[in-house]
Amino acid sequence: MKKYKSEFIPEFKKNYLSPVYWSTWFLLGMIAGISMFPPLFRDPVLAKIGRWAGRLSKKARRRATINLSLCFPEKSDTEREIIVDKMFATALQS
């Protein structure tokens, strides 16, 4: 018999309702609400949020830029920046 369980069974804890997590619940609610809009309205809104998040998350942007510079050394820096912006713009739409 195994000593440890290999599966993860998530449990909801009352602590998740404390004010510390209110911003997380708010963001999840916003994303769930936006997902119910028609794609013609939803996709441009999510693209703007994704670009904004891409500008704020310096580490993720740096990783993406480094990966692109290693994969596509022939592309210029501006072309790589355009690819990174498009990546962040479409990340929330998936």
DSSP state of 48: H
Write out the H or E segment, with its range, that includes residue 31.
helix 22-34
Give the per-residue pLDDT at 1: 56
Mean pLDDT, residues 58-82 taken together: 95
- The overall pTM is greater than 0.85: no
Confidence of residue 5 (pLDDT cuts 50, 70, 90): low
DSSP state of 13: -
Mean pLDDT, residues 51-56 taken together: 91
pLDDT at 18 over 70: yes
Handedness of CA 55, 56, 62, 68 (dihedral sign): negative
Identify which of 59, 66, 91, 92 has the alpha carbon closest to the alpha carbon of residue 80: 66
Share of the chain above pLDDT 70, in %: 95
Which tens digit of pLDDT belongs to each residue from 30-40? 888 988 999 99
Confidence of residue 64 (pLDDT cuts 50, 70, 90): very high
